[in-house]
Amino acid sequence: MATYKGINGFAVQSVATDPSPSDEGQVWYNNVGYAFKLASVTTAGTFASGGNLNTARMYGNNGGAGTQTAALSFGGAPSSPGAPQLTTSESYNGTSWTNTPSLNTARSLSAGCGATNTAALCIAGQNPSTNDGVLTESFNGTSWSPVNSLNTGRYGLAGVGIKTAALAFGGENAGGGGAGGTAASESWNGTSWTTTPSLNTLRRSIAGLGSNTAAVAFGGVGPGSPVTSTELWNGSSWTNNPTGLNTARRGARGGGISTAGIGVGGSSPGGALGSTELWNGSTWTSSPTGLTTARDEGSFAGTQTLGVYAGGNPGPGTGVTTTEEWTGPGVATTKTITTS
């Protein structure tokens, strides 16, 4: 009879700590957890429960600020309508959320971006006192500081990029009455905002992914029902993509780069969505798995491979603390071998 050693040339190793990285198919015995383990690779992306936010929130930052193990969630509102906007900010370490120093100005439906949870931007949003929608704040890991404002006031916009090189686009005109929203687009160089060529289609509750020189705008409303349309930014202009999302949605969240991205959640006329779609640079593919708790207007940080979605509105109009961690297809994982 064939044995593991006969096939692989070595016996099953007994270790105190699971090896990382490990080759697919490798088996070992964890002598601390008293379990046999197997190295595997995911064939389809999955969401799993993460640590809950300290403050329930919806209408949170639209745009990734950080990674799955170093994320930020800030602003928003606990419920709708009529609830006051929040200044609270929280940092995620891959296990739990910790309160950080608060924003200087309460706001909801802002955009966010940043490479880590210690270097991020909070862009525009609906402000309870002025409603001007242009205020920008920068986070250095210790505190939020006001920086130069957007040129076009708005909320429900998308943000992509990093603290020193960002792009903000779409949204609802902050002055109100913006049936369909705005197509305005602006680029941030670390000091100031510069108006760039606009989106081809004006829309609010839009989502985005990528960088300030290579971005993808998708979904949103404007005017009428949620749309599937997708636009590509090459650093100088927006171009309509021939194909759009498989499911029209507003209030979705995106992450990743312009050639490998993810769109998560959102809502349609039928209610909140849990469905997830993967972007390969030209087309969207529906993932067989989505959020366990369907919702829109939460916050997502990370990539097509590893991400975290926190808060949001599962309906009707109540924010949640629920956090889910995304592991994309093709990621190495460790499984415990059981008799089942």
Please give the Cα distance from 258 to 256 (Å, whole number): 7
Q: Is the pLDDT of residue 178 over 60?
A: no
Region 196-225 average pLDDT: 95
Supply φ then ψ for residue 203, to 5 degrees. -165, 155
Q: Is the pLDDT of residue 207 over 60?
A: yes
- The per-residue pLDDT for 176 is 58
Q: Is the pLDDT of residue 19 over 90?
A: no
Q: Is the pLDDT of residue 168 over 90?
A: yes
Tell me: the pLDDT tens digits for 109-125? 999 999 999 999 999 99
Region 47-53 average pLDDT: 97
- Residue with the bigger pLDDT between 297 and 131: it is 297
> Cis omega before residue 81 (within 30°)?
yes
| Tokens found for residue 160 | 């992509």
Please give the Cα distance from 121 to 273 (Å, whole number): 27
- The per-residue pLDDT for 41 is 65
Q: Which of 79-88, 165-174, 297-306 has the lowest mean pLDDT?
A: 79-88
With bands split at pLDDT 50, 70 and 90, how would you rate the model's confidence at 180? low
Please give the Cα distance from 43 to 327 (Å, whole number): 10
Region 23-29 average pLDDT: 76
DSSP string across 49-61: E-PPPSS-BBS--
With bands split at pLDDT 50, 70 and 90, how would you rate the model's confidence at 6? low
| Tokens found for residue 215 | 């971005």
Region 91-98 average pLDDT: 97
Does residue 140 contact residue 190 with C-beta atoms inside 8 Å?
A: no
Global pTM reads 0.87
Where do runs of H (alpha helix) occur along the chain?
4-8
Does residue 134 contact residue 151 with C-beta atoms inside 8 Å?
A: yes
With bands split at pLDDT 50, 70 and 90, how would you rate the model's confidence at 141? very high
DSSP state of 101: P
| Tokens found for residue 310 | 């926190």
With bands split at pLDDT 50, 70 and 90, how would you rate the model's confidence at 3? low
For the chain, list the domains and their CATH numbers.
Answer: 4-41 (no CATH), 46-327 (2.120.10.80)
Region 125-147 average pLDDT: 91
Contacts of 188 (CB under 8 A, 6+ apart): 121, 123, 136, 161, 164, 165, 166, 167, 168, 194, 212
Q: Is the pLDDT of residue 43 over 70?
A: no
Q: Give the Cβ contact number of residue 80 at 10 Å.
A: 15
Please give the Cα distance from 198 to 205 (Å, whole number): 16
Q: Which long-range contacts (CB under 8 A, 24 or more apart) does 191-198 make?
A: 191/147, 191/148, 192/148, 193/136, 193/148, 193/149, 193/150, 193/151, 193/168, 194/151, 195/151, 195/152, 196/167, 196/236, 197/236, 197/237, 197/238, 198/238
Q: Is the pLDDT of residue 4 over 70?
A: no
Give the strand pairing for 70-74 and 66-67.
antiparallel
